[in-house]
Amino acid sequence: MKFTDSPEINLKIKDKTLSLQQDNSSFHVGTSIWSGSLVLSKFLDRWTPLSTSPATTPTRYSSLLNFHNRRAIELGTGCGVTGMALYLLGLADIVLTDIHPVMPALKHNLKRNKQVLGKMLKTAILYWSNEDQINGVNPPFDYVIAADVVYIEESVGALVKAMEMLVKDDGVVLLGYQLRSPEADKLFWEICGEVFVIEKVPKEDLHPEYCYEETDVYIFRKKKNL
């Protein structure tokens, strides 16, 4: 679901606030802000430690969310919500990708938040079925990030293949997910089950203010026998 029909959304990440603009009248779903990106962002905000100091009390997600010297890429970034949130949480080496028609909305939001971010984040046009573009972003990555990307059955195979090509053998895929097409949903989980070990984050671990019945967070790791 769309989080709201309001053209502007503010999202607090640690001590910073992202100001996001969406265009609900656009033909492209990537110019709207959907709940999966917000739920994933606030899950990361809840559990990412402010410091990597040994004195910091570890949590169940401390190892997973240790962003020191790690690289990340976001697929179908849309308005850039999760990618910007991760940058504010310390994941400095991140590239935000989407298809060409969505780039103006993404770059508008990056420019809108440049003062909060301190810089313009890296972007790249990436179609999931285009292996040249995938190789052009210099994989593999420690993290592949995606939210609200499963809605067309025909694109599912390319999406999962792109995830597999982009993530390191010991890396993770972090996914914000909501069922939007029964056909795409069925195929997505069938193909993912062949490639990844899938962990669903318990609802109680999501941010209490961003915890919706229909939206979940998943952690994928490559199966070792592949």
Residue 156 has pLDDT above 90, yes or no: yes
Beta strands in the chain (DSSP E): 8-13, 16-21, 71-75, 93-98, 122-125, 141-147, 167-178, 196-200, 215-222
Give which of 36, 43, 95 is closest to 64, Cα–Cα.
43
Tokens of 56: 């910091």
Average pLDDT, the chain: 92
Q: Would you report the helix, strand and coil content of the chain in percent, each value rounded to 5?
A: 35, 25, 40
Q: What is the pLDDT of residues 30-79, one digit of tens each?
A: 567 889 999 999 999 999 987 655 656 788 899 999 999 999 999 999 99
SS3 77: coil
Q: What is the pLDDT of residues 76-123, one digit of tens each?
A: 999 999 999 999 999 999 999 999 999 999 999 999 999 999 999 999
